[in-house]
Structure 1
Amino acid sequence: MSLWTAADASAATGGRAQGDWAATGVSIDTRTLRPGDLFVALTDIRDGHDFVAQALEKGASAAMVSRIPDDVPHNAPLLIVPEVLPALEKLGRAGRARMHGKVIAITGSVGKTSTKDMARAALTGQGRIHAAEASYNNHWGVPLTLARMPRDTDFAVIEIGMNRPGEIAPLSRMARAHVAMITTVAAAHLEAFGAIEGIAQEKGAIFEGLTAVGTAIIPEDLPVTQILRDCADAAGAIVMGFGRDGMARLIQVSSEGDSLKCRAKIAGEVIEFTLLTTGAHFALNAVGVLAALAAAGADLREAARRIGDWLPPKGRGAVEQLGDIRLIDDAFNANPTSLSAGLAMLAGLQGGRRVAILGDMLELGPDEVELHRAVADDPAMGSVDLVHAAGALMRNLYDALPTGKRGIWAGNAAELAARAAELVAPGDIVLVKGSKSSKVSAVVDALRQSGQMPAPQDEG
């Protein structure tokens, strides 16, 4: 079944179609392109027009271009548009307009992708589900996700992110969600916003795109909860708070091996569910997810049962046995809130010595030194036996620790990875965490190599 015909795509974008083609998917990357995809020649680090010939050779049904590359025949199947990114945005809006199911949009400083994946798992069996791949949440990721959406989708889960002010509102208006959820607001991207209140205002902009009588799912008990509530009220949304208080609240959570048994009350209904993780912060987000799905018309009890199928994706808190050690791979991103959650997860695991391997937290603005140093006072740090650190910013935490907790400090993650054999011992429980750009994932790779264990498949 085709996703876009030449006529549909040209009508949606205002472009000119060459040939009578039909696309079964949409791709921006020849490495992952599937036969039948419409290849979109976006310009980022590389100009996508340089890969049009390769895309057509690999079986693309057509390519969306603003010019015909020299190595592409003039009669090739194409969609010729004035500019490629605006045309992709138009294609995304058209994909959203023709879909008559329910849309859930998710943003937040921490946990967007894992929460989106949790929602997708919880919706299993309740119709045709469409969700963003990986962390496709930016100015091209959102329209791409919408352009890929089949017209008979029953539930769509759209992840929306930002790096600077003014990014969320236009993406939210593109998604036109029935329900919008904010996971939390934390000190991330402070360089661009100056204060957490500015981050809250930007996150709250997700409610601007809600459909008429939409629902806003907001975290309770944050210092900036009222800002989020004000944003939701300004959008005319129905507001449902979630957390340990609110209309959707976590009543009880207990650890059983590598899973959590949870009980929650959502809109007056008591439900129980299991999560295959030991991270208590995931339990709070699960309550928000279930509230969002119920507001979108999904069966709450079925969603609570299916949410137990979700697993944290690679790099986002997944726990794995790596030879003689247990590894919490949380190396995809970091800010003070998510690092605190990771340390709490490490502290909650029973077993041998607890080791934290930490890379710099980036984009924290003028308070970055103090924010790193303050991690030494985190309550969970009392249960951590040893800390290895990489990067100039993490040196501030390292120096603030008691001498007995200090392991190895290195100038960068590559230097730390080169000493992987010195970082852990048999029986250790190990957390690896840092901002993606700190490249602390190199330590995870080195630990896997030394343990001769394959990397798990990325579920993002």
Structure 2
Amino acid sequence: VGVTGTCGKTTTRSLLYHLLEGRMSVYSAPGNYNTEIGLPLALLAMPRDAEVGLFELGASAPGDIAPLAALLAPSIGVITLAGRGHLSGFGGVEAVAQEKWDLVRALPPNGAAFVNVDSPPLAALGERYAGNMTTVGIDSGDFRGRVTSSKNGLVVDTHAPRLHLETRLLGKHNTTNILLAAAVAIDLGLSTGEIERRIKTFSAFPHRLNLVPAPFGYILDDSYNANPESTRAALIELARLDVSAKRRAFVFGDMLDLGEGSASFHDEVIELALELGIDPIFPVGDQTTQAAKRSQSAGSFVFCEDRDLAACILSHLPDEKIALLVKGSLAVGLTKIVQELSR
């Protein structure tokens, strides 16, 4: 099974592994072994008696997916999203979608594709695809989910087949990842009852939209990586969190590798955060700092600059319970800040 997409790859792969584990012999590639170096190493590490292997395929420029897919030779291909990631290499979302679709193009005649068609460029490609494909989504698709939330996480209900999926995952955007994992699990022979039981015990990977207790309230830790889509989703989740914290705050690290539109993408995130009433906002990095300075709401920002970041953040948090989102590209280093803030 090959999994690709702008975001959601690791969550979908890990969730599928959790569903299948114990039911069959399944191997899941370690870490982010999804490049021309990592994928061969992951394949070499797969036990010979594994019935199912789960692998990610990553791409930062045109031409990356096809050789990975040729090496993997998957019988199942999963595409989670085509969004605004690595645009310095791709230029636009349509090019991202075409690149991700190379995984579907690599499938054999008896292969199966599973695609999130809530992503418009993927929906457009899916309409022209004549092979075996299951589409998923909230708004459209063969396998649709109606999503509600509880204090513990997302609850997703489907009708064909009927499933009631109680999860620990946060963020409405994770609905399609849940649907993709469930659809593949059904294709591989799991019953609906097995899926409903096992999905309850799945926990998200660290630094991927985890709610962490902190001395000042809560940290919504999504510090592993960032692009405009995932950051927007995290901000919306921050605003709607059902926790005993009156205020919402945001540590916003640079979103890297976004090409010529990077400034406008950072402006877009700042504007959304302000619309949602999130205050204060801590820009971390040149691009977020410049976006904040272009904003008309200077009073909402705290610029820590070269000072100890964690100490600066703590000293500027209001004296009341706070839910603090920490989000930025991995190279910004915010995962360390989460550790310091949660002590």
Deviation at 1:398, TM superposition (A): 1.7
User: Which residue type is aligned with residue 427 of structure 1?
Assistant: K
The corresponding residue for 1:288 is 180
Deviation at 1:405, TM superposition (A): 5.9
Work out whether residues 259 and 278 of structure 1, in 8 Å CA contact, stay in contact via their aligned partners in 2: yes
Distance in 2, Cα, partners of 1:365 & 1:389: 19
Distance in 2, Cα, partners of 1:212 & 1:148: 27
Distance in 2, Cα, partners of 1:177 & 1:237: 14
Deviation at 1:320, TM superposition (A): 1.4
1:243 aligns with 2:137: yes
RMSD: 2.1
Match of 2:7 among 102, 106, 110: 110
The corresponding residue for 1:154 is 51
Higher relative contact order (CA 8 A, sep 6+): 2
Gaps of 5+ in 1: 1-103, 452-460
* TM-score, reference length from structure 2: 0.92
Work out whether residues 2 and 54 of structure 2, in 8 Å CA contact, stay in contact via their aligned partners in 1: yes
Gaps of 5+ in 2: none
User: Which residue type is aligned with residue 57 of structure 2?
Assistant: I
Distance in 1, Cα, partners of 2:135 & 2:290: 36
Deviation at 1:418, TM superposition (A): 4.4
Distance in 1, Cα, partners of 2:301 & 2:162: 46
Work out whether residues 193 and 199 of structure 1, in 8 Å CA contact, stay in contact via their aligned partners in 2: yes
Distance in 1, Cα, partners of 2:193 & 2:73: 26
The corresponding residue for 1:360 is 254
Deviation at 1:301, TM superposition (A): 3.3
Deviation at 1:348, TM superposition (A): 1.4
What does residue range 176-325 of structure 1 map to in structure 2 within 5 Å? 176-229=73-126, 233=129, 237-244=131-138, 245-251=140-146, 253-265=147-159, 268-325=160-217
Distance in 2, Cα, partners of 1:167 & 1:223: 22
Structure-2 change in CA distance of 1:324 and 1:144 (3 Å): same
Match of 1:385 among 279, 288, 294: 279
The corresponding residue for 2:70 is 173
Match of 2:312 among 419, 424, 447: 419
Among the aligned pairs, what percent are the same residue? Answer: 28
Distance in 2, Cα, partners of 1:169 & 1:297: 28
Secondary structure class of the residue paired with 2:183: helix
1:431 aligns with 2:325: yes
User: Which residue type is aligned with residue 278 of structure 1?
Assistant: L
Distance in 1, Cα, partners of 2:166 & 2:13: 17
Distance in 2, Cα, partners of 1:405 & 1:261: 37
Secondary structure class of the residue paired with 2:63: coil
Deviation at 1:258, TM superposition (A): 2.5
User: CA offsets per residue over residues 140-190 of structure 1, 9 Å max, x none?
Assistant: 221111111112212221111111111111111222222111111111000
Bigger CA radius of gyration: 1
User: Which residue type is aligned with residue 37 of structure 2?
Assistant: W
Distance in 1, Cα, partners of 2:55 & 2:108: 14
- Aligned positions, number: 339
1:330 aligns with 2:225: no
User: CA offsets per residue over residues 43-93 of structure 1, 9 Å max, x none?
Assistant: xxxxxxxxxxxxxxxxxxxxxxxxxxxxxxxxxxxxxxxxxxxxxxxxxxx
User: Which residue type is aligned with residue 422 of structure 1?
Assistant: S
Structure 1 stretches of 4+ with a deviation exceeding 4 A read: none
* TM-score, reference length from structure 1: 0.69
Work out whether residues 116 and 123 of structure 2, in 8 Å CA contact, stay in contact via their aligned partners in 1: no
Match of 2:34 among 121, 137, 142: 137
The corresponding residue for 1:408 is 302
Work out whether residues 81 and 122 of structure 2, in 8 Å CA contact, stay in contact via their aligned partners in 1: no
Secondary structure class of the residue paired with 1:393: helix
